[in-house]
Amino acid sequence: MASAPYLRRSDSVFTLDLDLLFALAPAMAGAVCAGGWHAYALLFLGAGVCALLSQTAARLRGELLPDYGFDALLTGLLFVLTLPAGAPLWSAAAGAALAAAVGELSRRTGLYLLPAAAARLLLLPVLPAAPPASSFLWGAAGGAMGDFAGIFLLLGAAYLAARRLSRKILQPAFLLSAVLAQLPFGSGLSPMGGLLPFAALCLLPVPGVGPMTPLGQLLAGVLFGALAGLSRGVGFAEPGVLLCVLGMGLLRSRFDGVGFFFAVRRMDISAQP
Amino acid sequence: MSCRARGALDFSIPPAEWLPLPPPPEVCLTHHGADRPDAGPTVRAGDAVLLGQLLAPGAGPYAPVFSSVSGRVRAVSEQTILLENDRMNTRSPRLKAHATADELAPDELRALLGSFGLLPPGAADRPLVLNALVPEPGLDDGFLLREPERVFGGLRLYLRACRPAEALVAVGRRQQEVRRLAVRCGFSPRVLSGRYPQAREPVLLQALFGRRLPPGGCAVLSPEALGAVWDAVYDGLPPVFCEVTLHIQDRPSNLHFRVPAGTPAEHILRAAREAWPVTLAGGLLTGRPLAARGEPVAGLSLCLSCLELPEPRRPARCLSCGRCAAVCPAGLWPALLRSLSRRRQQSFGAPRCLRCNLCAAVCPAGLPVWYQTAKKEALHGVGAVSPSE
């Protein structure tokens, strides 16, 4: 018998995922602008393979994926958006399979690894990212598909902000410190591109990535943003950003611990005898 | 989950319907003789009892127990007294009704209310608050709307007996009718937002006084308690009735009954012709499933909520969204306390938690409230909850 409460807000993981999908829609439109019909095929293939494999793994465990495997579908889409527009079709399928495997691993170990980011990181040796070609707002054709149209990413971010799903401290702190950290590396380096805007605006709001306390968000955002900026400065843009996103998921409880330590002074949280 | 509100929790107040109820064949009253022998029962099985007769004297924190029906004692156990109802409602000759309150001096009035267990210890001189807020979403203020004379009359009697430094009537923004009644009865109510869980004492006092009061720093009374004060003086009756609100899923209005204390819940449900898979003692946010349908109702007021069997919802992993912290009225971080409590196998933060369940109600991952989990794990070991939670 389930315990109280018997009245819940209608928000669930499914509705959060749905909101994220709506927020990703402009980025997907940007990807189609960058890659045409090929991008469509990559998106469908990635989402389909990831959902199918996650569903199969759940069936083998004797379970059903909650919310019809919508979470896995979203993971597939996120992964494909980190690929370059000209990526071969096999890379979408292989990466989606890797993402499904990482998701399964994450479920079993309790460690939070953002599957899309982990899969892209694993595929980087065989499918390196090309450096972004032009400006942030439109036409960064050489980088990841998700980065193609910054203006579209901002639209998605505005939607998440309107739905109060954006991380108010984490995202700006990450983006700002990344841009500042790469300034010393020369004026020829574009402040954006190399998965940085996509990670800040689309990967960080994914449920589970990043700490929840304000101080934890600030610390994680500044630290990982600086690391991402530095890695971009030394020529490891995509791996650096992806590692930072993964680190934020893995270490979120540590950062929350720091934030909690300062918040705890205002609370009487002594244990009940 | 069958009881869902769109967007936010539903704070609307449903209207109320009042229904007559046949007298119960037997009632079961709880006493505290096991905890404190001098608070134990003074009757034995087979004794005849009258309505309002003292069955167990109060001692320390325990209020006295009075017979809510007339009849015979069927059984006395370590915790309960089972009475057979003769349906005559023959009153105890010791009960004395007063035509006017002027017959009683304030000291006598205080002594009378104290003997009925209606005055908390040290009630005199403390600020008094009539908590007219609706306690939980789905419940209503039907008792106050139906019995304003008893409630506000009881408040006047209480003021006369205790002469508190300050008396406040707290009303929710949506309770326009209650506000009008309070004004008509000569009280100027303090209008609060009334959003759940403002009816909880610490939140209510913070809203009224702008600061945290020490425990017992203020007497907070419910409309039902003031109704009992009125009954004590004008009917001479100790608190032997329970005002029951029956909240039924998908029904637009709540049902209200006035039943003798100790009436089995099943008797009320049968009279209302309601047969639902789950009946809760309490509201939808904090209620607990009845241990048995025959569980007796206790206290001055109680809500019974009837609903479908909730769909089993497998809790997901914490999403670190921070919504639980955003809604926590005690300013706690439930998700972090939950993880801390899991690690140390102790219920951290429990003394400050108001048990409002709001954190669990807004959690998109469907995680249970942390102190319940921590307590469960302390009893059964950490393995009782899967690591994916």
pLDDT tens for residues A240-263? 999 999 999 999 888 988 887 776
Report whether the peptide linkage leading into residue A5 is cis, meaning its omega lies within 30 degrees of zero.
Answer: yes
The per-residue pLDDT for B277 is: 81
Find the length of chain B. 389
Q: Which residue has the higher pLDDT, A141 or A61?
A: A61
Query: Phi and psi at residue B130, in whole multiples of 5°?
Result: -90, 115
Mean pLDDT of A34-40: 88
Beta-strand runs (E) in chain B? 4-5, 16-18, 26-30, 48-49, 54-56, 65-66, 71-76, 80-85, 128-131, 167-172, 190-192, 219-221, 241-248, 254-260, 278-281, 288-289, 301-307
Q: Given a cut of 90, is residue A270 above it in pLDDT?
A: no
**Higher pLDDT, residue A186 or B101:** B101
What span, in angstroms and rounded, lies between the C-alpha atoms of B280 and B262?
16
Cβ-proximal residues to A167 (8 Å cutoff; 6+ apart), any chain: A204, A205, A210, A217
Which backbone phi and psi does B306 adopt, to 5 degrees? -110, 130
DSSP state of B346: S
- What's the pLDDT at B382? 39
Percent pLDDT > 90 in chain A is: 41
Surface-to-core class of residue A213, CB atoms within 10 Å of its CB (0-12 exposed, 13-18 middle, 19+ buried)? buried
What pLDDT is attached to residue B229? 95
- Asked if A114 contacts A249 with a C-beta cutoff of 8 angstroms, the reply is yes
Q: Between chains, do B333 and A66 touch, taking CB under 8 Å as contact?
A: no
Question: Does pLDDT of A200 surpass 70?
Answer: yes
Per-residue model confidence (pLDDT) at position A97: 95
3-state secondary structure of A265: helix
- Report how far apart the first and last C-alpha atoms of chain A are (Å, whole number): 27
Residue B25 CB contacts under 8 Å (≥ 6 apart), including other chains: B84, B85, B267
Q: What CA–CA distances, in Å, run from A59 to A215, B301, B307?
A: 41, 49, 32
Rounded to whole angstroms, the Cα distance separating B374 from B389 reads 13
Closest-CA residue of chain A to B375: A272
pLDDT at B165: 83
Could you tell me the two tokens for B167? Answer: 């008396």
Q: How many residues does chain A have?
A: 273
The DSSP letter of residue A169 is T
Whole-number pLDDT of residue B383 = 35
Domains of chain B: 24-88 (2.40.50), 101-235 (3.40.50.11540), 240-309 (2.40.240.130), 313-389 (no CATH)
Mean pLDDT of chain A: 85
**Chain B residues 306-335 with a CB less than 8 Å from chain A:** 307, 310, 312-314, 316-323, 325, 331-333, 335
Distance CA B348, CA A93 (A): 46
- Across the interface, of A66, A209, A252, the residue whose CB is closest to B314 is A66
Confidence of residue A192 (pLDDT cuts 50, 70, 90): low
Please tell me which residue of chain A has the smallest CA distance to B287: A4
B8 interaction partners in chain A (CB closer than 8 Å): 9
Write the residue in B1, B371, B372 that is nearest to A8 by C-beta.
Answer: B1
CA A87 vs. chain centroid, Å, equals: 19
pLDDT value at residue A272: 47
Asked whether the bond before B197 is cis by omega within 30 degrees of 0, the reply is: yes
Per-residue model confidence (pLDDT) at position B311 = 67
Across the interface, whether the CB atoms of A207 and B314 are under 8 A apart is answered: no
Partner-chain contact B364 A270, CB within 8 Å: no
Nearest chain A CA: its distance from B264 CA (Å): 22
Please give chain B's pLDDT, 389 residues, in tens. 334 343 455 556 666 667 778 899 999 999 998 888 888 999 999 999 999 999 999 888 888 999 999 999 999 999 999 999 999 999 999 999 988 887 889 999 999 999 999 987 667 778 899 999 999 988 888 899 988 989 999 999 999 998 888 889 999 998 999 999 999 888 989 999 988 889 998 899 999 998 888 777 888 999 999 999 999 999 999 999 999 999 988 888 898 999 999 999 999 988 887 778 888 888 888 888 887 878 899 899 999 998 887 666 666 788 888 888 888 888 888 888 887 777 776 666 677 788 888 888 888 888 876 656 555 544 444 333 333 33
Using an 8 Å Cβ cutoff, are A148 and A140 in contact? yes
Give me the total of CB pairs closer than 8 Å, taking one residue from chain A and one from chain B: 140
pLDDT at res. B314: 67
Distances (CA, A) of A270 to A171, A266, B161, B330: 33, 12, 39, 14
Is the ipTM higher than 0.95? The answer is no
pLDDT for A102 equals 93
CA B104 to each of CA A74, A193, B101, B110: distance values in angstroms, whole numbers, following the listed order: 74, 84, 6, 9
Please report the residues numbered 138 through 177 in chain B whose beta carbons come closer than 8 angstroms to any beta carbon of chain A: 138
DSSP state of B311: P
Q: Provide the 3-class DSSP secondary structure of residue B128.
A: strand
pLDDT-derived band at A70, boundaries 50, 70, 90 = confident
Q: Can you read off the two tokens belonging to residue B42?
A: 């003074």
